[in-house]
């Protein structure tokens, strides 16, 4: 009887043991599989990193993605807008000002050109010309101006500590309606 129990226990346990080995074989890498390696990219040169930071910050600003924009701004950033208003100090105050502006002009488009960048140690500045166009209240407004941002390197990334914009000129025109044709205006 003891022999029968040992015999039964051995043969009933054997399939479980073999099953465990099969599972191990299923999960074990074969000679054909290679581990997936993520390439380690060397850091960008500072001039490219600053250019990328400015471009990505402007892109996130334009689409209204404040969570992504946040990583490009210092907590104590100072922002000077192109309009006649006091400078804004601090990220939280900038967000309030930005949201108020965006509520008035949710579909604005900003294009930048003629960017110049200068880097000295862990500080950099970038200056560029911009063309900002917005449609609101049935009119198209276009603003030309300059922006200069000062950045500091914090760890391995560049963040904006000062953002100063100046409007050089602006124009405003009525937005054409779908029924308008391309005919000259009558006095």
Where along the chain do its domains lie? 46-174
Q: What is the block-wise mean pLDDT of the chain (187 residues), using blocks of 10 residues?
A: 38 46 54 68 89 97 96 98 93 96 88 98 98 88 96 96 95 63 40
Residue 112's pLDDT is 97
pLDDT of residue 43: 83
46-174: CATH, from 3.10.450.50, 3.40.50.150, 1.10.1740.10, 3.40.50.300: 3.10.450.50
Question: Helices marked H in 64-90 — which ranges?
Answer: 66-69
DSSP of 67-131, one letter per residue? HHHGGGEEEEEEEE-SSSS--EESHHHHHHHHHHHHHH-TT-EEEEEEEEEEEETTEEEEEEEEE
Predicted local confidence at residue 177, as pLDDT = 53
- For 163, other C-beta atoms within 10 Å of its C-beta total 23
pTM of the model: 0.70
What is the model's pLDDT at position 104? 85
pLDDT at 27: 57
């Amino acid at each position: 009887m003891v022999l029968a129990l040992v015999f039964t226990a051995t043969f009933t346990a054997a399939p479980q043991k073999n099953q465990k080995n099969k599972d191990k074989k299923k999960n074990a890498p074969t000679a054909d599989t290679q581990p997936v390696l993520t390439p380690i990219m060397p850091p960008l040169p500072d001039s490219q990193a600053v250019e990328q930071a400015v471009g990505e910050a402007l892109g996130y600003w334009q689409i209204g993605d404040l969570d992504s924009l946040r990583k490009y701004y210092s907590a104590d950033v100072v922002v000077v807008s192109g309009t006649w208003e006091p400078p804004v100090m601090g990220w939280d105050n900038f967000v309030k000002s930005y949201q108020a502006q965006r509520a008035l002009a949710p579909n604005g488009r900003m294009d930048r050109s003629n960017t110049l960048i200068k880097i000295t140690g862990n500080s950099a500045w970038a200056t560029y010309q911009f063309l900002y166009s917005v449609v609101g209240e049935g009119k198209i407004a276009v603003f030309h101006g300059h922006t200069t941002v000062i950045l500091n390197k914090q760890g391995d990334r560049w963040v904006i500590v000062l953002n100063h914009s100046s409007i050089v000129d602006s124009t405003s025109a009525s937005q054409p309606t779908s029924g308008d044709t391309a005919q000259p205006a009558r006095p």
